[in-house]
A = this chain, B = another copy of it.
Amino acid sequence: MADLLSVAKLAGVSRATASRTFASPERVSPTTRRKVEDAATQLAFRPNKVARQLRAQATKMIGVMVPSLNNPVFAEQLHAMEVAAREAGYSLIVTTSGYDPSREQAIVEEMLSQRVDGLALTVAVARDSAVLATLQRETTPCLLVYNPPHPGGLPAIGVDNRTAMAEATRHLIARGHRHIGMVAGPLLQSDRARLRYAGYRQAMREHGLAARPLIEMPRHTQAELACLAPALAGPNRLTAVLCTNDLLAISLIGELQRAKFSVPDDLSVMGFDGIDLGRCLYPSLCSMEQPRIEIGRAAIATLLAMIQGQSPPLPFLPHALREGESVGAPPTSRQAPTLRSP
């Protein structure tokens, strides 16, 4: 591929002049500029960004690490980041960690080696991630996305998970529910999920209601009806459940319907995330929406500011209750259909 030197030679000028023709055309005489441009066209010259990056000590690249792309929350946020980054002339290097700490470590190391100008990371548990301790010693700007902020920790952007889930719980309470449970992936794998559970308990307590033990599903985004069955039987059976994420809620609704349970007539189901898809389904998914687009955009904007040496404030971004058909009033009779395994 043609380089600047060949263009300069063909145009009969020095490399410096050829370089200026592209970087600051106004500093080159029109005649010369024309000659260089012609030469560049003729040779199909395309500037080499790698060389520029080395010289400039800046790559105009941002490293992004998300747990997975199979969850629309991350895909949608990444989409927004990509658009925002490109508008600012930045590219994204995208990686997935599967919440695996050793992969997280390797990925961050790799990206720092690549000399990305900034890092946007979503980790499983921000507090005890070894990677993050390392990162705090680095000078590369780094921002946590979705992870809750910790005092003395890395800057983080996202919603107030605890408050948001408390509001979601209050919404169910306001609809008349008293027997409300919460469903999560394994081991409250992510720090967000833990905060959401705390928010749920808080709201229940406020209303003098008994918070139930968490109902744990074997997978993060797919419901197993058997895990829920005990909670749907007996005199204290649940009339509503909160899920830690929308995919879990959607698959739970599917399983319930397959078992001839009606949502919301027999059980109200509420999600968390507000992915686009939830709107399309029937019943539409009632969810506590995280502003995924805004989070993506703000993450990029914040990182760019940090790259320029500023340290912008990082308030929580606003969550919003999204009404949906998956939540209704509790059944009037406590006699709900019995759950049969499909």
Q: Which residues of A contact B (CB under 8 A)?
A: 1, 44, 46-51, 53-54, 59, 61, 68-70, 72, 75-76, 78-79, 82-83, 86, 91-96, 107, 109-110, 112-115, 137, 139, 222-223, 247, 250-251, 253-258, 276-277, 280-282, 284, 325
* A-B contacts, 19 listed (Cβ < 8 Å): A1-B139, A46-B113, A47-B113, A48-B115, A49-B113, A51-B54, A69-B76, A75-B75, A78-B94, A82-B96, A91-B95, A91-B114, A93-B94, A222-B280, A223-B280, A247-B280, A250-B277, A254-B284, A255-B282
Structural contact, B277 and A258, CB atoms closer than 8 A: no
Task: Give Cα distance in the complex from A94 to B85, angstroms.
Answer: 11
Name the residue on B nearest A56 (C-beta). B50
Name the residue on B nearest A61 (C-beta). B93
Task: Give Cα distance in the complex from A70 to B95, angstroms.
Answer: 17
State which of B49, B95, B280 has its C-beta within 8 Å of the C-beta of A114.
Answer: B49
Name the residue on B nearest A52 (C-beta). B113
Structural contact, B110 and A94, CB atoms closer than 8 A: no
**In the complex, what residues of B have CB within 8 A of residue A92's CB?**
93-95
Task: Give Cα distance in the complex from A53 to B113, angstroms.
Answer: 11
Q: A72-B70, A75-B72 in contact; A113/B48 too (CB < 8 A)?
A: yes
Task: Give Cα distance in the complex from A257 to B114, angstroms.
Answer: 50
CB distance from A138 to the nearest CB of B (A): 9
CB distance from A227 to the nearest CB of B (A): 15
Task: Give Cα distance in the complex from A61 to B115, angstroms.
Answer: 14
**In the complex, what residues of B have CB within 8 A of residue A50's CB?**
50, 53-54, 59, 114-115
Task: Give Cα distance in the complex from A61 to B276, angstroms.
Answer: 31
CB distance from A136 to the nearest CB of B (A): 13
Name the residue on B nearest A94 (C-beta). B94
Task: Give Cα distance in the complex from A181 to B212, angstroms.
Answer: 48
Structural contact, A82 and B54, CB atoms closer than 8 A: no
**In the complex, what residues of B have CB within 8 A of residue A61's CB?**
93
Structural contact, A280 and B250, CB atoms closer than 8 A: yes
State which of B46, B59, B86, B251 has its C-beta within 8 Å of the C-beta of A280.
Answer: B251
Name the residue on B nearest A78 (C-beta). B69
Q: A115-B49, A115-B50 in contact; A70/B258 too (CB < 8 A)?
A: no
Q: A49-B115, A72-B72 in contact; A253/B277 too (CB < 8 A)?
A: no
| 7 smallest beta-carbon distances between A and B, as pairs | A251-B280, A257-B282, A69-B79, A75-B75, A254-B282, A94-B94, A69-B75
**In the complex, what residues of B have CB within 8 A of residue A110's CB?**
91
